């Protein structure tokens, strides 16, 4: 059996899986966000909660020398960064992937690097500590990404997972760190997914309740692991990582150069990963639930509430830019907005508009991909939104693309399993492991009767941001 763990933004999930993917035990524990109401760009979490969460999972699984996993793989949200001291404890709350306070630091690195580096990336966060929290910077033994911190606590081996050759500039390089005046020794060396990290130690047993001597293999950031776990390992296949945020990753047979999208080498050699990231998707609907007094209402209740609202929410559009926006506009000052509100709109129409906004944001990314000559054959969905068939169908209708629902909805856990099987030598490559282990449960075809209204509203969605961009910038610049 394999122990797989994925550290999300709001929940930590784990499972004991047979090698064929059959779950023996599953578990989940909530994680808390630490946001500052006075600073919309600041988003943090207590990294030690990750340790507590895994300890609780392992206690629930009753691991022991008799019930000992054959391997452990951990994935997690990113780009998230935590400074760790000489006692191996966090020195500061972890800066989450959606934290955008490092705008000036990103600009500095972009100028040196001669290509755009987003404020959410790893190195701008480390530079922020160097500039704004020098005492913490000096005390830091290492800067860790999220799952790599857990790997370190499990094995004592400090490393950062490099998804593919060419990704270094999006993480860190010795030359760039030195140019910024920081110490390279604080930045762990790079390893590839599936490489052995070591085995669990006695200290890990005390921290997590895992038996000693279990092999740990490098997993990595959730977006990379979910690509493997959805079988997005051949040209034309795309993956929709649909949770708090949204990531669209396309497996392409060639590289592209367009500032609206990210393009790096794919985790599978010979391909490229072309991607766009939507900052707040599921988080936008959660926000709307809370401000309308429906905090505890299941998402299924919201979808039942809007099933009679026509496609297009009676000509109402929502911009889901509640924490700035990444692809394809890359604007930290972007804000959320309802466009087209009238007295004929109520809570149900507004709910539907928020749901549809995620589809429009995905279509925006896919449209850019196809404008530059790439082809999206299908979209494989994973994450919390994969449990809502209504939402999947809305996305298929808005984008005009076929959506595939895998049997294992948590692609990060499925990807962790594939990595473990590859690390243990059961398959010759990650692609072979994914093609064998990932199975599709259902296909959602787009319905054409809503095509015209969604085409019209998508144009309005794009035009609305362009019309409000200057206003958003003025709001962002206010003190």
Q: Which domains, and CATH codes, for the chain?
A: 2-224 (3.30.420.40), 232-406+447-479 (3.30.420.40)
Measured CA to CA, the distance from residue 445 to residue 17 in angstroms comes to: 31
Structure tokens at 6: 């994925």
Q: Give every CB contact of residue 341 below 8 A, 6+ residues apart in sequence.
A: 316
Mean pLDDT, 10 residues at a time, over the chain (479 residues)? Answer: 95 95 94 82 95 96 94 96 98 94 95 87 97 98 98 98 88 94 97 97 96 97 92 97 90 95 92 94 95 92 95 98 95 96 97 98 98 97 92 98 94 96 96 94 95 97 98 92
Measured CA to CA, the distance from residue 165 to residue 162 in angstroms comes to: 7
Q: Which residue has the tokens 């794919």?
A: 266
Closest CA to 366 of 317, 325, 327, 409: 327
Please provide the DSSP assignment of 20-67 as one string. TS-EEEEEEEE---EEETTEEEEEEE-THHHHHHHHHHHHHHT--SSS
The secondary element (H helix, E strand) that includes residue 419 is helix 411-423
Q: What is the pLDDT of residue 74?
A: 98
Measured CA to CA, the distance from residue 113 to residue 108 in angstroms comes to: 9
Q: What is the pLDDT of residue 147?
A: 97
446 phi, psi to nearest 5 deg = -65, 140
Closest CA to 319 of 341, 336, 340, 334: 336
Contact 41, 100 (CB under 8 A): yes
Q: What is the pLDDT of residue 169?
A: 83
Measured CA to CA, the distance from residue 204 to residue 208 in angstroms comes to: 6
Q: Which residue has the tokens 């003190």?
A: 479
Q: CB-hemisphere CA count at 13 Å for 468?
A: 21
Q: How far is CA 236 from the centre of its chain?
A: 20
Contact 337, 325 (CB under 8 A): no
Q: How far is CA 22 from the centre of its chain?
A: 24
Q: What is the pLDDT of residue 165?
A: 85
Contact 386, 405 (CB under 8 A): yes
Contact 345, 352 (CB under 8 A): no
Q: Give every CB contact of residue 428 below 8 A, 6+ residues apart in sequence.
A: none
Q: What is the pLDDT of residues 425-446, one digit of tens each?
A: 999 999 999 999 999 999 999 9
Q: What is the pLDDT of residue 114?
A: 83
Q: What is the pLDDT of residues 128-164, one digit of tens each?
A: 999 999 999 999 999 999 999 999 999 999 999 999 8
The length of the chain, given as a count of residues: 479
Q: What is the pLDDT of residue 238?
A: 98
DSSP 237: E
């Amino acid at each position: 059996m394999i122990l797989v763990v994925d550290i999300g933004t709001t929940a930590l999930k784990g499972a004991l899986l047979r090698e064929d993917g059959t779950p023996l035990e599953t578990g989940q524990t909530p994680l808390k966000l630490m946001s500052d109401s006075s600073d919309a760009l600041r988003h943090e979490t207590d990294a030690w909660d990750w340790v507590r969460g895994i300890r609780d999972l392992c206690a629930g699984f009753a691991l022991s020398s008799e019930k000992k996993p054959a391997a452990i793989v951990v994935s997690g949200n990113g780009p998230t960064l935590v400074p760790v001291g000489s006692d191996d404890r966090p020195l500061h709350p972890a800066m989450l992937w959606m934290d955008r306070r490092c705008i000036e630091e990103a600009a500095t690195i972009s100028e040196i690097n001669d290509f755009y580096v987003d404020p959410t990336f790893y190195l701008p966060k480390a530079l922020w500590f160097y500039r704004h929290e020098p005492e913490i910077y000096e005390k830091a033994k290492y800067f860790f990404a999220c799952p790599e911190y857990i790997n370190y606590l499990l094995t004592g081996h400090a490393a950062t997972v490099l998804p593919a050759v060419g990704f270094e500039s999006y993480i860190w390089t010795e030359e760039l760190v030195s140019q910024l005046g920081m110490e390279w020794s604080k930045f762990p060396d790079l390893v590839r997914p599936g490489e052995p990290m070591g085995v669990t130690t006695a200290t890990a047993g005390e921290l997590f309740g895992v038996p000693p001597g279990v092999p740990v293999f490098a997993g990595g950031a959730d977006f990379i692991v979910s690509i493997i776990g959805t079988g997005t390992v051949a040209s034309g296949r795309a993956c929709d990582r649909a949770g708090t945020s949204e990531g669209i990753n396309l497996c392409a047979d060639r590289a592209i150069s367009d500032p609206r999208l990210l393009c790096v080498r794919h985790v599978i050699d010979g391909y490229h990963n072309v991607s766009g990231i939507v900052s707040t998707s599921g988080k936008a609907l959660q926000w709307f639930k809370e401000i309308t007094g429906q905090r505890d209402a299941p998402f299924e209740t919201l979808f039942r509430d809007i099933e009679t609202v026509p496609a297009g929410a009676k000509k109402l559009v929502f911009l889901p830019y509640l924490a700035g926006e990444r692809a394809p506009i890359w604007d930290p000052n972007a804000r959320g907005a309802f466009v087209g509100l009238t007295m004929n709109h109520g809570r149900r129409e507004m709910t539907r508009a928020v749901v549809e906004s995620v589809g429009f944001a995905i279509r925006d990314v896919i449209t850019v991909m196809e404008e530059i000559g790439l082809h999206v054959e299908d979209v494989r969905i994973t994450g919390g939104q994969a449990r809502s068939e209504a939402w999947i169908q809305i996305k298929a209708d808005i984008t005009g693309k076929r959506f595939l629902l895998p049997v294992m909805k948590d692609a990060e856990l499925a990807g962790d399993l594939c990595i473990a099987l590859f690390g243990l030598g059961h398959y010759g490559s990650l692609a072979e492991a994914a093609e064998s282990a990932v199975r599709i449960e259902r296909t959602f075809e787009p319905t054409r009767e809503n095509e015209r209204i969604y085409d019209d509203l998508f144009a309005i969605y794009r035009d609305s941001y362009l019309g409000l961009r200057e206003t958003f910038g003025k709001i962002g610049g206010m003190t």
